[in-house]
């Protein structure tokens, strides 16, 4: 006998579809893409590019997130933090998710191609394939290095934003990419450490499951050191000034402190704090990079 799981009465159909797009994750993606747009020009970003570039990237990112939810619905059903998503709950079906993802992603790519520029559309499409197919379908169930390799797609938003404004990809955009790429492993491995049992139960070969806590904790520290060094590159190449340098040293120092504590005095509570701080770290670092960008011409950085 089958039982139809009804959606909670206070959650509308629209809200359930919105949940498929992982709005908090997509918000950070769009934020870093907008930072890329703003850093790409010393003046103001054309309003059309800012609005439609953000909209297109948001739609495609949401579509990729929906595909991720679709592919991982069985895994999500086994994990406490994801079991209430619409697909594991049975409130949205697989065909509905496929249709939704196709419509939203197709609309986003069309917006980017027609109202921004073709390069941004193709780069965004490549990012979609990298996350929804290469990372979700191939890498995540296959290798504990899924986060490192698959992190390339998650690091693309600043490049997308930069390309939306300039129609090209410069070394400055690649530096922004590199910062997020280096940030991804310690960010996700902090989460994986205190969710290890759930990943093991779901059969996902995350690093703590395949190589143990001690190995993972060491790699959180090593990648945080790499991130600390990489975060200083915008200052080293003259892309930013002293405001950004001080913020990168300070924010990176706090992140490094957390990583050292994880390595030497681990607890699940500490890993949770590190994971939460990593999100604050990235958003604040990029915010100070933007502040520095606009204050430097005034001689204030």
pTM, to two decimals: 0.88
Cα Rg of the chain, angstroms: 20
Does 80 score more than 80 pLDDT? no
**Distance (Å, rounded) from C-alpha 139 to C-alpha 142?**
5
65 close to 21: Cβ distance less than 8 angstroms:
yes
Does 248 score more than 50 pLDDT? yes
**Distance (Å, rounded) from C-alpha 225 to C-alpha 262?**
13
Per-residue pLDDT, 78: 78
The average pLDDT across 267-283 equals 96
The average pLDDT across 50-64 equals 96
CATH code that applies to domain 12-169:
1.10.357.140
Per-residue pLDDT, 11: 65
DSSP-assigned letter for residue 117 = -
Per-residue pLDDT, 10: 55
The average pLDDT across 256-270 equals 96
Give helix 213-230 / helix 242-264 axis angle, nearest 10°: 170
Coil, strand or helix at 197: helix
Per-residue pLDDT, 74: 82
Per-residue pLDDT, 201: 84
Q: How many residues are recorded in the chain?
A: 301
Greater confidence (87 vs 7) lies with 87
Does 216 score more than 90 pLDDT? yes
The average pLDDT across 164-190 equals 95
Cα dihedral 30, 149, 213, 264 in deg (nearest 10) = -70
The average pLDDT across 262-290 equals 95
Q: 3-state SS of the chain: helix, strand, coil percent to 5?
A: 80, 0, 20
């Amino acid at each position: 006998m089958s039982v139809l799981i009804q959606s909670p009465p206070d959650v509308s159909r629209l809200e359930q579809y919105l949940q498929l797009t992982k709005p908090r994750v997509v918000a950070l993606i769009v934020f870093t893409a907008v930072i890329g747009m703003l850093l790409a020009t010393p003046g103001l970003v054309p309003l059309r590019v800012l609005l439609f570039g953000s909209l297109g990237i948001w739609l495609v990112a949401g579509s990729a997130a929906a595909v991720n939810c679709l592919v991982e619905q069985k895994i999500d059903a086994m994990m406490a933090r994801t079991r209430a998503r619409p697909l594991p709950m049975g409130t949205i079906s697989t065909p509905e998710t496929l249709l939704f993802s196709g419509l939203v992603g197709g609309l986003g790519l069309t917006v980017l191609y027609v109202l921004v520029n073709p390069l941004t559309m193709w780069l965004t499409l490549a990012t979609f394939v990298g996350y929804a197919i290469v990372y979700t379908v191939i890498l995540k169930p296959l290798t504990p290095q899924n986060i490192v390799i698959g992190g390339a797609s998650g690091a693309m938003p600043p490049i997308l934003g930069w390309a939306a404004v300039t129609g090209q990809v410069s070394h400055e955009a690649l530096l922004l990419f590199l910062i997020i790429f280096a940030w991804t492993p310690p960010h996700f491995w902090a989460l994986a450490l205190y969710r290890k049992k759930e990943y093991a139960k779901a059969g996902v070969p995350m690093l703590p499951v395949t190589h143990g806590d001690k190995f993972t904790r060491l790699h959180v520290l090593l990648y945080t050191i790499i991130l600390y060094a990489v975060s200083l590159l915008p200052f080293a190449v003259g892309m930013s000034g002293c405001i950004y340098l001080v913020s990168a040293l300070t924010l990176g120092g706090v992140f490094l402190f957390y990583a050292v504590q994880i390595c030497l005095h681990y607890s699940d509570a500490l890993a949770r704090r590190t994971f939460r701080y990593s999100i604050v770290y990235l958003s604040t670092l990029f915010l100070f990079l933007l502040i520095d960008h606009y204050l430097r011409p005034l001689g204030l950085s």
